[in-house]
Structure 1
Amino acid sequence: MSFAERFSCLVCPGDAITCEADGFTVTARIVPDDCPDAPDKRQEGFWPSLYINDPGFIGPGPNHRERLAKAKAEADATMEAWCKGDWFYCGIVLSVSFEGIELARHAASLWGVEANYPGSDNACLTEVADGLLSEALKTACEAAERLCVAYRQVRAHVDTA
């Protein structure tokens, strides 16, 4: 199972894709990540380095200064684009409904996903949604079972009254 619909190459918070799976309607939506940290604070090794013990070590080999300059320019451009709001971190949140009844508004999610990242086509957003699909369906089935139990209890009470 997977989403046939794909997130577009330029997304905004609130954008969503939908699929049908095992009789359920599953919606994956983009929600802004509430962590305000910049990329260099969130990603260890964001800034490239020539020092072997640094997380951003670019590795040994020829042309290390040129590779460092290129990696630094890419990091600078990525940081500048983030500061301008060209890309952002988000959560991919899946909700599940059955015949128009929402069973789980937050059935599964993954946070800290890069949306509109420079040079990206946002394919990773749909891949994340696909990866969360089975978890969301499991959560929805559990919610449906709880509703059925509650319904039986109410129905039994009504029938005896």
Structure 2
Amino acid sequence: MFKTEFQPFVCEGDRITCTVDGIEFTARLEHDWDSKPTDFECYTKRQVEAWRGDEWHFFGVVISAELEGIDLGDYLASLWGIEGNFPSRRKNPNRYFRTVANELLPEAFAAARNELERVRSVVAIAA
């Protein structure tokens, strides 16, 4: 489980890590270039203008994994269209990123285990 929070102000490339059964998982933020507040009806004019002024952005949370230097996948699980640095009165409006990372972890873990089994079978055949 990811225990570390993302910072109160996030940027593309920010990451947190955790280890599950010896596999190191990384949750990183990538800029979501496809999402726009004008695609939705829930944003005020001021919020849209703040987005246009680069005050906040949409991000994706992407989970990758490795085991002892072996890459088990770069995009094992992801969720896109999440508001980052959104104008809010909350102390850390970016707390949701860790929540998403933890919700994606079971899917990423299953994908990493499958890749690990595939790698082991290839190594066994080659040996």
TM above 0.5, yes or no, is yes
Q: Is 1:6 paired with 2:5?
A: yes
TM-score calculated relative to the size of structure 1: 0.73
Can you list the C-alpha shifts for 1:85-116, whole angstroms capped at 9, x where unaligned? 11111110000111122111111100111111
Can you list the C-alpha shifts for 1:119-139, whole angstroms capped at 9, x where unaligned? 052011111001001111100
Aligned to 1:100: 69
Provide structure 1 residue ranges, at least 5 long, that are not aligned to the other structure.
48-74, 156-161
Partner Cα separation in structure 1 for residue 103 and residue 60 of structure 2: 13
State the one-letter code of the partner of 1:124: Y
Aligned to 1:145: 117
- 1:123 is aligned, of 66, 73, 95, to 95
Can you list the C-alpha shifts for 1:26-67, whole angstroms capped at 9, x where unaligned? 0000001121x53021x2x326xxxxxxxxxxxxxxxxxxxx
Q: Which has the larger radius of gyration?
A: 1
Question: How many residue pairs are counted as aligned between the two chains?
Answer: 124
What secondary structure is seen at the aligned counterpart in 2 of 1:28?
Answer: strand
State the one-letter code of the partner of 2:8: C
More helix by percentage:
1
Equivalent residues in 2 for 1:40-119, closer than 5 Å: 40-41=38-39, 43=40, 45-46=41-42, 75-119=44-88
Q: Which moved more, 1:117-126 or 1:26-35?
A: 117-126
8 Å CA contact 2:36–2:58 kept in 1: the answer is no
- 1:38 is aligned, of 36, 39, 43, to 36
Shift in Å at residue 77 of structure 1? 2.0
Shift in Å at residue 117 of structure 1? 1.0
Shift in Å at residue 22 of structure 1? 1.6
Partner Cα separation in structure 2 for residue 100 and residue 7 of structure 1: 24
